[in-house]
Structure 1
Amino acid sequence: MKYGYILAAGLAAGSVDGHLTGSLCCNRLSHHVPSLYQDPSTASYEQLINARWSNNSILHPSCVVTPKSADDVSRTIRLLTTYRCNFSVKGGGHNANPGANSIDNGVSVDLGSLNSAYLASDRSYVSLGAGITFGQAYDLFNHSNVGFVGGLHDGISAGGLSLGGGTSLFQASKGWAVDNVLNYEVVLSCGTIVNANQKNNPDLFKALKGGNTNFGIVTRVDLKTFEFKKLWDAEVVVSLKGPQVGRSEMLDKISRTMVDFVANNEKDVATSIHVAVTFVAATQEELAILAITNSDDVEDPAIGRPARAVPNQRANVARHGKVADYVHAISGFQRKGSRQVTATLTISNDYDTLREIWDASDKVYNELSQKVGVQWIVQIFPQPKIQQSYSMKHGGNSLGLADVQDDQLVIWFTARWNNTGFDNMMDNAQKRFVQATEEVARKHGTLSPFLYINFAGYFQNPLCGYGPESVAHLSEVARKYDPRGVFQYLMKGGFKISEADCGYKG
């Protein structure tokens, strides 16, 4: 099912496919919003365009607009639609897909200055500007004794996470980050500023929770809080090639440890485990990292002990600390500054499938014509079925998981390199990874249609994985709140509901 918009026909009056060129748009903006305007002649332009997690997502817009308030965003979007300008929107820039948060020869709207954060007087929620990163937010509230469901990397923005789902430290105890959003402040394509919550614009509220960039520009997110002081965490780093056991047995143990943990996660929702297996670019070693956390600050919880007992250990470090300290520490594993690709799939919590996925991943890696300088990372995020129970308590979401009765695993593939000559090789590799691992899951009957949109590669179609009911709702809401299709056709980047050709009837 695809659908069109009035705007698609109305664009014929512009100079290039109905649009003004980037330079002409920027000329208009320089006169209308000079205090927000940056172009290649200004000192901060390079800093703004380079502020991305992945170097291959750095593009070269004709100019950058840096709104400092929702009113600034409103004024900017009115100008962009009036002049029919192609534009992109950036929050934290934590997406490796080229074009996801930038644009060549168009207008980049950079929300980085929307970085306000305050705690409500009754301590029931935090209000975060869409451009603030969770690293900044955790630091600001580090000593406030409140917790909120946010990102697992300090470079992820509040706006970006809250439109995609949001994995966190509190997956089993609180659900997705979107299920903890109380309110979105949104600028619509007409420039109107609205709030979306369970009482006001509830259809938009539900659609935004996983619906990506299809409805408006989110300028503020209000997240429910809870009393929270410290967590306990441990990071176990192991070699896959000895000295105690060999590679195959290590992957057996890691797979069994993860699957058994997720199957029992409902018995201890405060504990979470996240696994990453990586070929290290500098040394060509193959390591696994098992990160165990307990959000109740319980030291060495029983459910996490098998992960701390795996052989071939290089390090096994535990501590009590703040969320900010933990997230900054683990973010060092994937800092910005490299070229990157990303892709994802979701499987049932099945040992045989997970174990074979490691082998399928290895096969794709070993087929690379160049390996030196490539870091290959496969991460596993538990999705215990209990987390789906939190959605309907807070207005539902768009993820299409409400009826899922099985524990699942979200698999996130990333690879990092610096040599631009590897770009085509790595683009093919991310597609081969998805093809090979999906074949394994199909063989076992464990492949889920769900694709976590914030991990998805540009070539994937995560909106269709939400199912026909959710896709129909997203389409209806997009038509209602953006009848001219500004966020389908003028705004570049993200996964468009107008392009979600899912094969559904309707």
Structure 2
Amino acid sequence: MIFSPRTGVVAAVLLSLSSLASSAPATISASSDTCTTIAATTTIEVAKRFELPYTLEQSHYWSSSTVAIKPACIIFPKSAAEVSAIIKVLGQNNETFAIKSGGHSPNNFFASVSGGPLISTSKMNQVLLDPTTGIVNIGPGNRLDEVAKKLDGTGWTFSGGRVGNVGVGGLVLNGGLSYLSAQYGWAASSVLEYEIVLADGTITTASASKNPDLFKALKGGGNNFGVVTAYITQAYKQGDVWGGNAVFLRSKKNDAKMLKAVRDFTEYCEDDKAAVIVTAERAVIGAVDSWILFLFYDGPDPKDAFKNFTDIGAVLNTARKRSFADMMAWSNWVVLPGVNVLGGTETIPLPSADNAETVLGDIHQHWRDITTANLGVGGFVASIAYQPVPKRIVQRASERSPDLIDMDDSVDRLIMEVNYMFLLPSDYEKMQGVMKETYSGIREKVVGWQEDGTLPDAYVPILMSYGNSQQDYFARLKPESRALAKSVAQRVDPQGLFRDRTGGWKP
């Protein structure tokens, strides 16, 4: 479909808040029932438990733990006006609620709610492109592979994430790391305007010229400010790409080679079109213990961009020329159905070449020691992803618009994303403890290395997309960023609708 700013269609941005919530809010007895009121007084679709739309939507989460959290009903608005009507009803009661985009956050109560209404944005799935300017109106109900498919053949692409099944709302409100980040910054950096429903039901927009503080707060601030119903985003020219996965056997020698390769790629790669995610994977099933790389090049031929990795010797390499839409769809193999998922993260300054073996080797061994101790957990699958954040990503982000993450370009960085998957709900609390042991152990090492000069004493926020509910996202931001988020939340939500009645990290 084609969108033109001249038609007056409002800016599109989804503040799919609940993809970002943190801990569950306290359960409050409702003075009125949003599900019943919306069903009785509006034409908005409402699905109750055991009805097919409810069952299908409730199954679309990445983690079985969130599937098991049952809302009283699921409400499917199709527009900002319908979201406004729902928010106004919520304002008249005290029910807890949640808002869902793609449901990819594994944190319980980030996009899920027990006994209250769940607002699904899945019906707000427009992708409206102006083919002349490349400005695209994207609804929060889209997943990244859907956006890529709808833009396929237009010559334009959205600077989204790396896994197609990820929801637009959770990704962009978290900031969003993309295969295209070295060229265009965070996914949120390309948003020109948000359409948002505030806590009193007001529909407004936020941009660099209108509500600029809210505009900045939405770029990395999560679900604290309202419900984003559309993102007006700058798309970019796009042809064929090259990408896929390369699999390497695990050995101590290959561990050292792979960690050196990702360190050197982060500092020395000068080709902004090249991107990589370097993951180590372990599982009892199939005796998996290997390295799996995600390789991406924004063009049909990467030449020697990944030579420091490919020279190690892959046993399987699926990378080839493909469309961007095909690349997004290909990545969905990482989403395993029917398992519980936990995620956590840390950010470190890139170690020097002299200190890389000590720093990255110790971190990797810490992860291996913990995973070895837990291989007996039923259905256990563990991964750690080393994700380069070179200075130029921060430079490109700051060129486009300010954000709450507000990284400086004084150092290169690595983001570690840790994921644990397991089968039994009874192992959930134990595995939360294992996850905390993993990321807190990395953090303790990094702080020690910064104190003794092994690592630079640099600002290292965690990325909201990968954070565990036990981590304090806002405490890791700069004080001025946290203060801005808090002041904006108080201004647009003075009664604390989103602060007190949805889960999530709160400033």
Partners of 2:505 and 2:471 in 1: CA distance: 9
Distance of aligned partners of 1:369 and 1:331 in 2 relative to their CA distance in 1, 3 Å threshold: closer
Q: Cα distance, 1:316 vs. partner?
A: 2.2
2:19 aligned partner: none
2:252 aligned partner: 248
Residue of 29, 33, 52 corresponding to 1:43: 52
2:372 aligned partner: 366
2:10 aligned partner: none
1:348 paired to 2:354: no
1:69 paired to 2:79: yes
Partners of 1:123 and 1:281 in 2: CA distance: 50
Q: Cα distance, 1:474 vs. partner?
A: 0.6
Q: Cα distance, 1:41 vs. partner?
A: 4.9
Residue of 279, 282, 285 corresponding to 1:279: 282
1:333 aligned partner: 334
More off after superposition, 356-365 vs 274-283 = 274-283
More off after superposition, 348-357 vs 126-135 = 348-357
Contact 1:234 1:293 in 2 (8 A): yes
2:110 aligned partner: 100
3-state SS in 1 of match to 2:286: coil
Partners of 1:97 and 1:328 in 2: CA distance: 24
Contact 1:345 1:451 in 2 (8 A): yes
1:263 aligned partner: 267
Q: What per-residue deviation string (whole Å, max 9, x for no partner) do you get for residues 369-395 of structure 1?
A: 724520001011110011111233333
Partners of 1:18 and 1:444 in 2: CA distance: 45
1:158 aligned partner: 168
Partners of 2:278 and 2:505 in 1: CA distance: 27
Partners of 1:430 and 1:17 in 2: CA distance: 26
Question: Which residue identity lines up with residue 467 of structure 2 in the other structure?
Answer: A
2:430 aligned partner: 425
Q: How does 1:278-427 map to 2 (within 5 A)?
A: 278-297=281-300, 299-311=301-313, 313-350=314-351, 351=356, 352-368=358-374, 370-371=376-377, 373-401=379-407, 403-427=408-432
Partners of 2:375 and 2:268 in 1: CA distance: 41
1:173 aligned partner: 183
2:232 aligned partner: 222
2:12 aligned partner: none
Contact 1:280 1:287 in 2 (8 A): no
3-state SS in 2 of match to 1:150: coil
1:183 aligned partner: 193
More off after superposition, 138-147 vs 383-392 = 383-392
1:112 paired to 2:122: yes
Distance of aligned partners of 1:430 and 1:120 in 2 relative to their CA distance in 1, 3 Å threshold: same
Gaps of 5+ in 1: 1-15, 241-246, 498-506
Partners of 2:163 and 2:488 in 1: CA distance: 30
Distance of aligned partners of 1:483 and 1:255 in 2 relative to their CA distance in 1, 3 Å threshold: same
Q: How does 1:473-488 map to 2 (within 5 A)?
A: 473-488=484-499
Contact 2:374 2:380 in 1 (8 A): no
Contact 2:295 2:319 in 1 (8 A): no
2:65 aligned partner: 56
Contact 2:197 2:226 in 1 (8 A): yes
Q: Give the length in aligned residue pairs.
A: 470
1:141 aligned partner: 151
Superposition misfits of 4+ residues, deviation over 6 angstroms: none
Q: Cα distance, 1:271 vs. partner?
A: 0.7
Q: What per-residue deviation string (whole Å, max 9, x for no partner) do you get for residues 365-421 of structure 1?
A: 1222724520001011110011111233333001031x2410001110001122223
Q: What per-residue deviation string (whole Å, max 9, x for no partner) do you get for residues 418-463 of structure 1?
A: 2223222211111111122222222322485411001000000112
TM-score by length of structure 2 reads 0.89
Residue of 28, 33, 42 corresponding to 1:24: 33
Please report the RMSD computed on the Cα atoms of aligned residues, expressed in angstroms.
1.8
Gaps of 5+ in 2: 1-25
More off after superposition, 351-360 vs 127-136 = 351-360
Q: Cα distance, 1:121 vs. partner?
A: 4.4
Distance of aligned partners of 1:370 and 1:229 in 2 relative to their CA distance in 1, 3 Å threshold: same
1:442 paired to 2:447: yes
1:33 paired to 2:42: yes
